[in-house]
Amino acid sequence: MSIPAFGLGTFRLQGQVVIDSVSTGLELGYRVIDTAQIYENEADVGQAIAASGIPREELFITSKIWVANFAKDRLIDSLKQSLRSLQTDYLDLTLIHWPSPENQVPVEEFMGALLEAKNMGLTRQIGVSNFTVDLMQQAIAAFGAENIATNQIELHPYLQNRKVVEFAQSQGIQITSYMTLAYGEVLKDPVIQQIAERLNATPAQVTLAWAMQLGYAVIPSSTKRANLESNLHAVALTLSDADMALIAGLDRGQRLTSPKGIAPHWD
């Protein structure tokens, strides 16, 4: 896999809260950090990383280009600003955060600019986020699937997004799952709770292990040290085929994120 399986998300965390979360995560052993321009926390994340003293080559840092910066003459400059904020010379992965609203900037234009940024050494890998099958097809037609490392999508037991997953995997594009715990909703699910009890694990560990076992990368976030530490143990947890089948049966198409004016026509 080109994308590490387990990392730390920073969505909705800002200021000292995100500094503390990233600092604690790095101290506990996290080495993959996911942020975005629209989170308005890149400088805070950069501060936490710099203070940790961990060598840059041991880290995998992802950020995402916001829709206002998709135009060819803005994308690379915005990425350079992200690098300054994060106090690094390059990103390991840079994603297009959402498709361009109403196709204001064509896929070929923003993907072309992102590929140029990669060729300039500003980012090691590039990819997309919140892309439908049609949008992935457009990106592949323009630049080839080999240039798209991942599609980061909302994916949890209640929204398993199988159509998008199957197409991406058929093209060799890895899936990164965000909101894997569905804002904590799935942690209350009796099926997941029963599996957790049987395995002497937490519902969060079971859910994260389920996603990783399907080949997805996960980026859970937390502000609590105990949760950050506990979530790490999901990497060592293995679910049986029967457990995986039980969780597969929880899909109910429950989408939690679909911002008006930005979200595409979902599959």
Active site residues: 39
Element (H, E) at 94: strand 91-96
Q: Tell me the one-letter amino acid at 262.
A: I
For residues 41 and 33, give the distance between their C-alpha atoms in angstroms, rounded to a whole number.
12
Cβ contacts of residue 229 below 8 Å, gap of 6+? 28
User: Looking at the DSSP assignment, which residues form a beta bridge with residue 176?
Assistant: 152, 217
For residues 100 and 130, give the distance between their C-alpha atoms in angstroms, rounded to a whole number.
11
3-class SS string, 39-92:
HCCHHHHHHHHHHHCCCHHHCEEEEEECHHHCCHHHHHHHHHHHHHHHCCCCEE
CB 153 within 8 Å of CB 132? no
Backbone angles phi, psi at 94, to 5 degrees: -125, 130
Phi-psi region of 261 (alpha: psi -120 to 50; beta: other; left: phi over 0): left
For residues 46 and 149, give the distance between their C-alpha atoms in angstroms, rounded to a whole number.
23
- Specify the residue for token string 């080839």: 144
